[in-house]
Structure 1
């Protein structure tokens, strides 16, 4: 039982290290473009301006 507990503690520490590392990578702008794929899906990098539609008729 002691062996299992030691292994679980080690896995938790490794998980914490990877979590901190991933958060650090995502906070740096140079890495954010390469790692975070949601900016490609949302169209942030493409730079396309949406067409505006005038809703108020000016007379």
Structure 2
């Protein structure tokens, strides 16, 4: 049981280190455009507001 607990603690520490590293990378603008593709899909960079579409006629 001690082996499993030790393994899980090491795994949690490694996971935390990767979390901190990824957050640090995403805070820098030079890395943000290369790594985070969701800003392209959400339209943040484009700066256009799409027109409002009415779906239900009342």
**Alpha-carbon distance in structure 2 between the residues aligned to 1:14 and 1:51:** 42
Under a length normalisation based on structure 1, what TM-score does the superposition of the two structures give? 0.73
Structure 2, gaps ≥5 residues long: 52-58
TM-superposed CA distance for 1:41, in Å, is 0.6
Partner residue in 2 for 1:14: 14
Under a length normalisation based on structure 2, what TM-score does the superposition of the two structures give? 0.74
TM-superposed CA distance for 1:51, in Å, is 7.7
TM-superposed CA distance for 1:38, in Å, is 1.0
Q: CA RMSD in A?
A: 1.9
1:7-42, Cα deviation, whole Å (9 max, x unpaired)? 000000000000000000000000000111111112
The verdict on how the C-alpha distance between 1:51 and 1:44 changes in structure 2, with shifts beyond 3 A counting, is closer
